[in-house]
Amino acid sequence: MKRTRFDDWPCGIARTADLVGDWWTPLVLRQAFFGVRRFDDFATSLGIPRASLTARLDRLVEEGVFERVPYAESPARYEYHLTPKGEAFLDVLLAMWRWGEDWLNPADNPIPVQLVDSESGEMVRPKVVDETTGRPIEPARLGLAPVIPGRRDQ
């Protein structure tokens, strides 16, 4: 699409959007968290076009989100395993999940998919807090620092 790139903007949101800011990448990563590792399993479980999947996986391997791990020699076969960087992305998916469940739940959705703790069986409700204080983050008190005046790529 000749899309604008954000990967060197000095803002984590912009750089994250550059990498996962398309419709399929978050879902590919979601599948990875639920145990999908192989090309065909990604393709058939999501219905993503194979060419699109190839492009996504290549970029994610290049960025160190997935590691390409051989599991068969002849013919050579590879699995896509989440790296620590990839596993850390769970927080973003959880935030997306929570917002989607809270605010985009269609009225006629009969069976919402829920997150559970597999040991306790309890529902998991992801929430973003400040790591140091443990308190919710209030939009009104939030500021950017340093702000660079007139700079457009913030």
The site for DNA (CB under 7 A) is made up of 1-4, 22-24, 38-41, 47-52, 54-55, 57, 74-75, 77-79
61 binds a copy of itself (CB under 8 A): no
**In the complex, what is the shortest distance from the CB of residue 151 to DNA, in angstroms, rounded to a whole number?**
17
Which residues, 6+ apart, have CB-to-CB distance to 24 below 8 Å? 46, 48, 52, 53, 56
Q: What span, in angstroms and rounded, lies between the C-alpha atoms of 98 and 86?
A: 19
Burial class of residue 3 in the structure, from the number of CB atoms within 10 Å of its CB (0-12 exposed, 13-18 middle, 19+ buried): exposed
- Nearer to DNA by Cβ, of 29 and 48: the residue is 48
Nearer to a copy of itself, 54 or 109 (CB): 109
Closest by CA to 1, choosing from 52, 65, 48, is 52
Beta-bridged to residue 68, according to DSSP, are: 80
**Is 80 one of the binding residues for a copy of itself (CB under 8 A)?**
no
Q: Does residue 70 touch a copy of itself according to CB under 8 A?
A: no
67 binds, among a copy of itself, DNA, none (CB under 5 to 8 A by kind): none
- The pair of structure tokens assigned to 122 is 């309890």
Q: Is 10 in the site for a copy of itself (CB under 8 A)?
A: yes
Question: Which one of a copy of itself, DNA, none interacts with residue 107, CB within 5 to 8 A by kind?
Answer: none
Which residue, 67, 59, 70, is CA-closest to 85?
Answer: 67
- Print the binding letters for residues 97-126 with a copy of itself: x by CB under 8 A, - otherwise: xxxxxxxxxx--xxxxxxxxxxx--xxxxx
Spatial distance between the Cα atoms of 82 and 61, rounded to a whole number of angstroms: 9
CA atoms of 89 and 19, how far apart (whole Å): 11
Of a copy of itself, DNA, none, which one sits near residue 51, judging by CB under 5 to 8 A according to partner kind? DNA
58 near a copy of itself (CB under 8 A)? no
